[in-house]
């Protein structure tokens, strides 16, 4: 039986020092200034000195300020959410961990697990064993429903009444991790939250930095939305017109759905035309009475809209454009996950699976992705044998010089060309039938992966995708049924994107008409996971959400 698993894992890393030292508490010392003096975080200090959490440091007390285990330079913990039917014994078996180890990571863990419980596990065990004993429940040629083997990342942020970004501390958080996540200094975090001197506690609501001036809609209860799509792109060129119509069909479904739920919406559809005629469409945007702009499609057009509304800071959603030169705009929301994010994940996956096999990377025309993965693997692995090839046909098994037997290799697809992906899938199926232990990875989704899922499971194929529909989910069934009733067909790729983008944005509006204050929420719509982060301080919100799909025999 085919088994397919989808996982998004968030890793929390904490650093410890290389040498152990003792510090004698002097007059005026407290946990914060001692930690700062020795270059460690408060969280690290409290781990080394649990008794100090009470805040009762006395002059003359001896405290540990460095940890002597250099080998523990980094540790990684991942979290899973308990699903229906999972038991404590089942988790121990699945993740190959002892009960003592599990309880050490989860103090107070009860033997009777409850659905929704958040369980900490060693990241390496989650990466290797997550869902390997769970069968897919969807149709034969389709991936199973996304499995909740993940924790939401920093999804508990909000805005305080005095306009500060807030964060609710979760189990497993560290001060160091929060400082890094929000790009703030430890000094500023302590200044805003004096109680941190007593230790970091789950459930604490921290002020982390001043919030950007909240964008509030301009006309009372009604949200004014402009959708910009290139319907009349070029004479005789129907590619973008068809894409726009499909996108709009999904967006309209989301608009009507939210309107039925009581959201007051005024939506204006603007023909963005071609890049050459785009400026004419800008005049249709009323900067004094627009609360959200979805589109346009092209980066050059996005830049022009940003310039046109720069004084009013109207939120702008870029459905497809994603590049470094867009990251500096604080009112921009970038939906498309950067491909480098996928490449980084594949590097991580190959690193975990690698046991001195030769690695083949199938490159595209300009080799950008292939070279990036190759460089990452050279840094991550010790003296790896990596070969870049132009075609899957160039992938060959190694030969054991002693026995003459074929030896499995690792194959990585770094091309998003469907025909190359088809050839890659066929090559992996053929090789896995001849050589046991083949391992295949792809930073792109290819339709052939779904059609040949059973066969590719023999090559333990792992691939990254940003969009997939859980056809067994009640929400998904409802939306697909609504779309079919409205348009008498199944939604295509761009209709799905249109629904997901519009439904996600509209659902983030709060009672005060703000959208930006809700960007910390991780949400999954019909097929897309939205997990926005600011790459630069006060820069654009960039979607970093994706799924990892694993095929097993």
Give this prediction's pTM.
0.57
Alpha-carbon distance of 101 to 117, in angstroms, equals: 17
For residues 77 and 123, what is the distance between their CA atoms, to the nearest angstrom?
Answer: 5
3-12+77-129 and 157-210 share one CATH topology?
A: yes
> What pLDDT was estimated at residue 135?
26
What mean pLDDT is predicted for residues 415-443? 94
Query: Between these two residues, 157 and 442, which has the higher pLDDT value?
Result: 442
Residue-range domain boundaries for the chain: 3-12+77-129, 17-72, 157-210, 223-337+473-541, 340-465
The mean pLDDT of 184-200, rounded to a whole number, is 85
pLDDT band at 374 (very low <50, low <70, confident <90, very high): very high
* DSSP letters for 147-197: P--S---S--EEE-TTSEEEEEPPTT--HHHHHHHHT--HHHHHHH-GGGG
Tokens of 88: 């404590």
- pLDDT, residue 147, reads 29
User: What percent of the chain stands above pLDDT 70?
Assistant: 77
Spatial distance between the Cα atoms of 401 and 410, rounded to a whole number of angstroms:
19
pLDDT confidence bin for 323, thresholds 50/70/90: confident
pLDDT of residue 494: 94
Residue 519: per-residue pLDDT: 83
pLDDT of residue 16 exceeding 70? no
pLDDT tens for 238-250 read 788 899 999 999 9
Q: What pLDDT band is residue 9 in, cutting at 50, 70 and 90?
A: very low
- Give the confidence band of 459 by pLDDT, cuts at 50, 70, 90: very high
Please tell me the predicted confidence (pLDDT) of residue 490: 93
175 against 502, higher pLDDT: 502
Q: What is the CATH number of domain 17-72?
A: 3.10.350.10
Q: Under CATH, what is the fold of the domain 157-210?
A: Membrane-bound Lytic Murein Transglycosylase D; Chain A (3.10.350)
340-465 maps to which CATH number? 3.40.50
d(C-alpha 505, C-alpha 528), whole Å: 12
**Given this structure, which CATH class describes domain 3-12+77-129?**
alpha beta
Tell which CATH architecture fits domain 223-337+473-541.
Answer: 3-Layer(aba) Sandwich (3.40)
Q: What percent of the chain is predicted at pLDDT more than 90?
A: 35
pLDDT (mean) for 289-307: 91
């Amino acid at each position: 039986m085919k088994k397919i698993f989808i996982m998004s894992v968030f890793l929390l890393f904490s650093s410890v020092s290389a040498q152990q030292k003792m510090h004698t508490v002097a007059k005026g010392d407290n946990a914060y200034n001692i930690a700062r003096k020795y270059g460690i975080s408060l969280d690290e200090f409290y781990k080394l000195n649990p008794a100090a959490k009470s805040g009762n440091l006395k002059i003359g007390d001896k405290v540990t300020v460095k940890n002597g285990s250099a080998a523990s330079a980094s540790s990684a913990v991942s979290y899973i959410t308990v699903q229906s039917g999972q038991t404590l014994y089942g988790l121990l078996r699945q993740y190959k961990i002892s009960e003592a180890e599990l309880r050490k990571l989860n103090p107070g863990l009860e033997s009777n697990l409850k659905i929704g419980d958040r369980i900490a596990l060693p990241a390496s065990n989650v990466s290797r064993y997550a869902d390997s004993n769970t069968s897919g429940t969807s149709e034969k040629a389709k991936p199973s429903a996304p499995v909740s083997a993940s924790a939401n990342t920093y999804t508990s942020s909000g805005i305080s009444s005095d306009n500060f970004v807030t964060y609710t501390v979760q189990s497993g958080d560290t001060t160091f991790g929060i400082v890094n996540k929000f790009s703030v200094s430890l000094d500023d975090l302590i200044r805003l939250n004096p109680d941190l001197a007593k230790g970091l506690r789950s459930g604490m609501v921290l002020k982390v930095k001043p919030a950007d001036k909240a964008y509030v809609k301009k006309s009372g209860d009604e949200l004014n939305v402009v959708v910009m799509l290139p319907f009349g792109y070029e004479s005789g060129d129907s590619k973008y017109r068809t894409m726009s119509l499909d996108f709009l069909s999904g967006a309209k479904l989301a608009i009507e759905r939210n309107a039925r739920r009581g959201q007051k919406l005024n939506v204006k559809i603007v023909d963005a035309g071609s890049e050459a005629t785009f400026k004419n469409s800008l005049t249709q945007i009323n900067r004094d009475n627009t609360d959200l702009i979805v589109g346009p499609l092209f980066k050059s057009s996005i830049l022009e809209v940003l310039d046109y509304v720069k004084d009013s800071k109207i939120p702008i959603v870029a459905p497809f454009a994603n590049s470094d030169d867009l990251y500096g705009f604080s009112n921009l929301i970038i939906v498309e996950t950067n491909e480098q994010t996928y490449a980084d994940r594949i590097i991580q996956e190959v690193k975990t699976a690698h046991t001195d096999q030769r690695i083949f990377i199938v490159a595209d025309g300009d080799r950008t992705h292939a070279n990036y993965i190759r460089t990452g693997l050279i840094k991550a692995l010790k003296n790896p044998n990596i070969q870049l090839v132009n075609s899957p046909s160039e992938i060959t098994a190694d030969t054991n010089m002693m026995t003459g037997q074929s030896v499995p290799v690792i194959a990585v697809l770094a091309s998003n060309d469907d025909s190359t992906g088809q050839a890659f899938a066929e090559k992996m199926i053929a090789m896995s039938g001849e050589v046991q232990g083949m391992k295949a990875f792809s930073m792109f989704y290819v339709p052939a992966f779904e059609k040949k899922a059973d066969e590719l499971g023999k090559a333990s194929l792992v691939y990254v995708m940003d969009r997939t529909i859980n056809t067994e989910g009640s929400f998904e069934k409802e939306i697909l049924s609504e779309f079919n009733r409205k348009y008498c067909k199944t939604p295509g790729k761009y209709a799905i994107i249109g629904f997901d983008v519009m439904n996600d944005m509209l659902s983030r509006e709060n009672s005060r008409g703000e959208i930006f204050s809700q960007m910390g929420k991780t949400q999954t719509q019909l097929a897309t996971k939205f997990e926005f982060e600011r790459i630069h301080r006060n820069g654009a919100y960039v979607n970093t959400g994706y799924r990892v799909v694993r095929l097993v025999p």
